[in-house]
Amino acid sequence: MRLSNSITCHLKILLVLPALLATVNGLAAGDAPKGPMQETDKTPDKVENPDRLDSREWQERLTPEQFRILRQAGTERPNGAVYSQFKKQGGGTYYCAGCGAELFHSDQKFDSHCGWPSFWDPAEIDSVETRTDYAGGMIRTEVVCANCKGHLGHVFKGEGFDTPTDLRYCINGTVLVFVPDDAGD
């Protein structure tokens, strides 16, 4: 009887151990994203005064790919898994993966076939800020999160898309957090 209990106990530990390790790994990497674009049922908490965060703290908050894009003005691979995920998503709101600020809504989403998530307007006029970007020998308009100033992508005008603004906010989905409209929040 005692032996049997002991075996059962060891079996339980063996079964629980991988789950414990997964939890530890998940914590070490921050909130592990569900898919290439993070999806959640809960509105993210907005970080106030994100200017106070230094590079190390941003690295702790973000996945390496999110850090590369948001804090180092990187670009995700076009037509990748994140773009497929974006095209399948229904109604909902897109928040900044860096600071939780509301950035875009699915009402302003359209399929530009460019390989990156596209919107014709931000959720609110002051959700994003723009800057002239001279990188790569081109003059483009960079789009950053108005709250944390993290790099989101670029905006292009006058391309002839049949949208109310004729603007294409070409955004890296990796740095968005999607909350579906029907989320139980």
How many angstroms separate the CA atoms of 96 and 71, rounded?
12
Region of residue 179 (left: phi > 0; alpha: psi -120 to 50; beta: else): beta
The only residue of 148, 152, 175, 176 in contact with Zn ion, by rule CB under 5 A? 148
C-alpha to C-alpha distance for 118 and 111, rounded to whole angstroms: 6
- Smallest distance, Zn ion to C-beta of residue 21, A: 31
Minimum separation from the CB atom of position 150 to Zn ion (A): 5
Q: Which of 96, 145, 148, 170 is catalytic?
A: 170
If one asks whether residue 99 binds Zn ion (CB under 5 A), the answer comes out as yes
Q: Please tell me whether residue 145 binds Zn ion under the rule CB under 5 A.
A: yes
Taking CB under 5 A as the rule, does residue 147 contact Zn ion?
yes
DSSP code for 29: T
Q: Does 146 bind Zn ion (CB under 5 A)?
A: no
Please state, as a whole number, how many other Cβ atoms lie within 10 Å of the Cβ of residue 59.
15
For the chain, where are the E strands, in sequence order?
38-39, 92-96, 102-105, 109-110, 118-119, 128-133, 140-145, 151-157, 167-171, 176-180
Select the residue interacting with Zn ion from 98, 117, 122, 173 (CB under 5 A): 98
Q: Which stretch binds Zn ion (CB under 5 A): 24-32, 34-42, 98-106, 118-126?
A: 98-106
| Residues of the shown chain interacting with Zn ion in the complex, contacts defined by CB under 5 A | 96, 98-99, 101, 145, 147-148, 150
Task: Give catalytic residue positions.
Answer: 170
